[in-house]
Amino acid sequence: MAVRIRMKKLGRKHRPFFRICAMDGRVPRDGRVLEELGTYDPMVPETDARAIIKGERIQYWLSVGAQPSDKVRVLIKKYGAEGTHLEQQRLALARLAQARRQRGVQPQAVAAESASPPAEATEESPAEPPAG
């Protein structure tokens, strides 16, 4: 069996998403998978955060004779176990996580401010004893 490491297309129209998989070379592009080895999302704004690869498993499949496709070969070279862009990938993933946290925090902060009464209303005037 000739094993290939290639991309399996998922997603929807105008929103592609790929899984990097080890597959028999004779099955169709979206056919049966031997093992999923990572993901590639071309819609992520940070270029270096688009590919997430399991480097150890890629090395295993390459060691037993699997042949990567051209695009996957480039991704392995950049983001594999000994990739040339690993530091840039780590920084890009950190920037994306920070941006997600900021987007998630702001709506909650606005909701918390609107739920609490204004500062002037919380300070009550001293209670006057009833006239009697």
pLDDT in tens, 79-114: 888 888 888 989 999 999 999 888 876 555 555 555
**107 in a structural domain:** no
Number of domains the chain is built from: 1
pLDDT in tens, 46-86: 888 899 999 899 999 999 999 999 999 999 999 888 888 88
Query: Exposure of 57 by Cβ count < 10 A (0-12 exposed, 13-18 middle, 19+ buried)?
Result: middle
Reply yes or no on whether the pLDDT at 5 is more than 90.
yes
Domain that holds residue 40: 3-99
**88 in a structural domain:** yes
**78 in a structural domain:** yes
Residue 41: DSSP 8-state = -
Contact between residue 82 and residue 56 where contact means Cβ atoms under 8 Å apart: no
**113 in a structural domain:** no
**36 in a structural domain:** yes
**23 in a structural domain:** yes
Contact between residue 46 and residue 95 where contact means Cβ atoms under 8 Å apart: yes
pLDDT tier, 41 (very low <50, low <70, confident <90, very high otherwise): very high
**Mean pLDDT across the stretch 121-132?**
58
Please give the biggest Cα pair distance in the chain: 100
**125 in a structural domain:** no
CATH number for the domain that contains residue 12: 3.30.1320.10
